């Protein structure tokens, strides 16, 4: 059988290289294009079974490439690659004939699932063998030492025991816990230990898509359901028939879709978008969230009847700081995992790094630990990792001066300074801070109302800012309500009030974290993607994009 030909279209060389190596090792024949015009030329002169197409490209966008390809009669499945900010473009691409999409960044499992949906039974033999091997590995006993779930602490042993008790039942499972605690790992463990282990495990991130696209993704659509729906598309629930569907970030799902999900849980049937006949499925549902759903019910953001339908078995995953016994075993596991990917991987960590790992609080939990070990395997420099741990947690004894600004999108953790709390008169506002050699600095600032205290870094020469907090710049007013105020129902008023309250809380946290969005998301206990969506929804503007700052 000929190898399946895949065309990867992306303007970033690193992405093309990564996808080329990943797909090539799985048995595909991969060719790459760095621009839309090159992709159209290759598509017109060759035969491809699948196209991976990036939306955001210079000169010619992925949407234009898709439009021209379909207009010329091209019929190969096109999987759109879209960042979160391009979710609307992804929806447009689906309407223009794209067969599937992947939100960047995506995992190899998500790519494998998308390729499987696009190709059906035409998967490469090597890929099929790998899937069978993965299923067999999932059912091995723990003594094999290859299990991904590392649980040496008493808290995680309780979680494992509960998973074993409910795995073979078909009741819904609600996974609770902070971001990065391993909820997806537990969901896969539930599936691997159940009698559905040889059937599909389908994951959907409810925070990565707008409501209209999420509905089509979950429940599919019929041909002609909307402009561009040239063929019927099965949803994730149909693909997970006889298997398990994992709905991550369930707290981000729109109320309207929650009602449809409740129908699936109760009746095991639903209607596709634009469909006239019901579709019956037998899918075990596992959901996860880092939100307080009972609080979301009070705010009107989550249906109470759906909560009680999902809350048959709730498993709360402890944060990594609550189970320090697992830090070293997890570190060893990730070291072996990523040591295989890099030719000269790190064999073992120096004692001072392990000590720093055990003392660090890991606000990003297991995911942060995994990324830290992977970074260490790549950099092979323990000093850089130690510096990052100190800057991300407690400052060193002699903290260096802080930079006055941070480049990038807010993902780089700023060093945490030592803080002096000094009472601040209401007017004029003054702050005293210890400068070099113990000298005292007095900083004049415009009064911004009564505040209890100010936090000023020690050993930092602070330039006089335009505002009391350099990240506290005037924000545009919140977006107006979609319904005129005179016509708003009590429910609309509640939603509006909740949005305004969320806006203030997000703004305050972003200012506290110097607009480090990942750190703010962690402290707010929501996902990074959900925070980006809410920043856009609430009309919050990043001050670093302003010319005045």
Q: Is 166 a member of any domain?
A: yes
- Tens of pLDDT along 283-296? 999 999 999 999 99
Q: Is 397 a member of any domain?
A: no
Average predicted confidence (pLDDT) for the chain:
75
Q: Is 356 a member of any domain?
A: yes
Give me the residues paired with residue 30 across strands: 6
The residue with greater pLDDT, 434 or 292, is: 292
Helices 183-192, 125-138: inter-axial angle, 10-degree rounding = 90
Segment 179-196 mean pLDDT:
92
Do residue 28 and residue 59 come from a single domain?
yes
The residue with greater pLDDT, 511 or 321, is: 321
Q: Is 515 left (phi over 0), alpha (psi -120 to 50) or beta?
A: left
CATH of the domain at 73: 3.40.50.2300
Cα gap 280→303, rounded to integer Å: 23
Highest average pLDDT, of 98-107, 303-312, 532-541, comes from: 303-312
Do residue 43 and residue 78 come from a single domain?
yes
Residue 472 confidence (pLDDT): 53
C-alpha 216 chain-centroid distance: 20
Highest average pLDDT, of 306-315, 390-399, 436-445, comes from: 306-315
pLDDT over threshold 70, residue 180: yes
Segment 421-431 mean pLDDT:
37
CB 420 within 8 A of CB 431: no
pLDDT confidence bin for 433, thresholds 50/70/90: very low
Q: Is 240 a member of any domain?
A: yes
Do residue 288 and residue 353 come from a single domain?
no
Q: Is 327 a member of any domain?
A: yes
Segment 419-440 mean pLDDT:
38
Residue 246 confidence (pLDDT): 95
pLDDT over threshold 90, residue 346: no
Do residue 218 and residue 256 come from a single domain?
yes
CATH of the domain at 526: 1.10.10
Do residue 163 and residue 288 come from a single domain?
yes
pLDDT over threshold 90, residue 65: yes
Segment 481-498 mean pLDDT:
74
Residue 163 confidence (pLDDT): 93
Do residue 165 and residue 223 come from a single domain?
yes
Q: SS3 for 77?
A: coil
Cα gap 397→407, rounded to integer Å: 25
Segment 140-169 mean pLDDT:
73
Do residue 350 and residue 256 come from a single domain?
no
Percent of the chain having pLDDT more than 70?
Answer: 73
Segment 72-93 mean pLDDT:
74
- Locate 43 and state its tokens: 């598509």
- Tens of pLDDT along 121-134? 555 544 444 444 44
12-26, 78-92, 152-166, 376-390, range with the lowest pLDDT: 78-92
CATH of the domain at 287: 3.40.50.300
- Tens of pLDDT along 446-476? 333 343 444 434 444 344 333 344 445 567 7
Beta strands in 125-258 (DSSP E): 173-176, 201-205, 244-248
Number of domains in the chain: 4
Residue 270 confidence (pLDDT): 87
Q: How many CB atoms lie within 10 A of CB 159?
A: 22
Q: Is 402 a member of any domain?
A: no
pLDDT over threshold 90, residue 111: no
Residue 545 confidence (pLDDT): 55
CATH of the domain at 362: 1.10.8.60
Residue 245 confidence (pLDDT): 94
- Tens of pLDDT along 217-239? 888 888 777 766 667 778 889 88
Do residue 228 and residue 307 come from a single domain?
yes
pLDDT confidence bin for 149, thresholds 50/70/90: confident
Residue 375 confidence (pLDDT): 80
Residue 371 confidence (pLDDT): 86
Q: Is 326 left (phi over 0), alpha (psi -120 to 50) or beta?
A: alpha
pLDDT over threshold 80, residue 148: no
pLDDT over threshold 70, residue 106: yes
Q: Which residue range(s) make up the domain with 82?
A: 5-119
Whole-number Cα distances in Å, 494 to 215, 499, 501: 25, 9, 10
Q: Is 247 a member of any domain?
A: yes
Do residue 93 and residue 34 come from a single domain?
yes
Cα gap 86→78, rounded to integer Å: 16
The last residue of one of the domains, among 71, 95, 119, is 119
Q: Is 451 a member of any domain?
A: no
- Pick the closest to residue 27 from 2, 63, 51, 45 (CA basis): 2
Give me the residues paired with residue 457 across strands: 419
Do residue 174 and residue 224 come from a single domain?
yes
Do residue 176 and residue 306 come from a single domain?
yes
Do residue 259 and residue 161 come from a single domain?
yes
According to DSSP, the β-strands at 429-434 and 440-445 are antiparallel
Residue 138 confidence (pLDDT): 38
Residue 342 confidence (pLDDT): 56
The last residue of one of the domains, among 70, 102, 119, is 119
Cα gap 364→354, rounded to integer Å: 17
pLDDT over threshold 50, residue 144: no
């Amino acid at each position: 059988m000929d190898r399946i030909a895949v065309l990867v279209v992306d303007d970033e060389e690193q992405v093309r290289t990564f996808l080329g190596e990943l797909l090539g090792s799985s048995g595909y024949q991969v060719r790459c294009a760095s621009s839309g015009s090159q992709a159209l030329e290759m598509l017109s002169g060759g035969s491809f079974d699948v196209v991976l197409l990036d939306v955001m490209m210079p000169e010619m966008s992925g949407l234009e490439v898709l439009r021209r390809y379909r207009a010329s009669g091209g019929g190969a499945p096109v999987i759109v690659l879209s960042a979160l900010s391009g979710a609307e473009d992804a929806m447009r691409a689906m309407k223009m004939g794209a067969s599937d999409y992947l939100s960047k960044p995506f995992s190899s499992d998500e790519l494998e699932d998308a390729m499987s949906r696009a190709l059906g039974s035409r998967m490469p033999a090597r890929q099929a063998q790998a899937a069978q091997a993965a299923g067999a590995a999932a059912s091995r006993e723990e003594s094999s030492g290859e299990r991904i779930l590392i649980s040496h602490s008493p808290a995680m042993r309780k979680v494992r025991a509960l998973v074993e008790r409910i795995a073979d039942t078909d009741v819904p499972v609600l996974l609770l816990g902070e971001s990065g605690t391993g909820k997806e790992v537990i969901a896969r463990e539930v599936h691997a230990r159940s009698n559905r282990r040889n059937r599909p495990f389908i994951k959907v991130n409810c925070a990565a898509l707008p409501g209209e696209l999420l509905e089509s993704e979950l429940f599919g659509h019929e041909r002609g359901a909307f402009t561009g729906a040239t063929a019927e598309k099965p949803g994730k629930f149909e693909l997970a028939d006889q298997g398990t569907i994992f709905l991550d970030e369930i707290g981000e799902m729109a109320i309207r879709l929650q009602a449809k999900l409740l129908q699936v849980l109760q009746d095991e049937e639903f209607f596709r978008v634009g469909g006239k006949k019901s579709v019956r499925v037998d899918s075990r549902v596992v959901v996860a969230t880092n939100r307080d759903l009972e609080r979301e019910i009070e705010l009107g953001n989550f249906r109470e009847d759906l909560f009680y339908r999902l809350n048959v078995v709730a498993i709360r995953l402890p944060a990594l700081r609550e189970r320090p016994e697992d830090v070293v075993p997890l570190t060893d596991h990730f070291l072996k995992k990523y040591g295989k990917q890099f030719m000269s991987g790190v064999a073992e960590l120096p004692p001072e790094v392990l000590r720093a790992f055990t003392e660090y609080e890991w606000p990003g939990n297991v995911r942060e630990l995994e990324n830290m070990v992977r970074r260490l395997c790549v950099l092979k420099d323990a000093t850089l990792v130690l510096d990052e741990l100190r800057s991300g947690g407690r400052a060193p004894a002699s903290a260096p001066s802080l930079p006055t600004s941070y480049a990038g999108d807010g993902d780089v953790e700023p060093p945490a300074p030592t803080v002096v709390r000094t009472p601040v008169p209401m007017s004029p506002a003054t702050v005293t801070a210890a400068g070099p050699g113990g000298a005292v600095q007095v900083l004049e600032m415009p009064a911004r109302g009564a505040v209890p205290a100010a936090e000023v870094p020690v050993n930092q020469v602070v330039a006089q800012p335009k505002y009391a907090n350099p990240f506290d710049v005037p924000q545009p007013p919140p977006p107006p309500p979609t319904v005129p105020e005179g016509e708003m129902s009590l429910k609309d008023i509640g939603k509006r009030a909740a949005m305004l309250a969320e806006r203030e809380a997000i703004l305050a946290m972003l200012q506290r974290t110097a607009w480090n969005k990942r750190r703010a998301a962690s402290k707010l206990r929501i996902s990074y993607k959900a925070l980006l969506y809410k920043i856009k929804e609430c009309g919050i503007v990043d001050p670093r994009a302003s010319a005045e700052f």
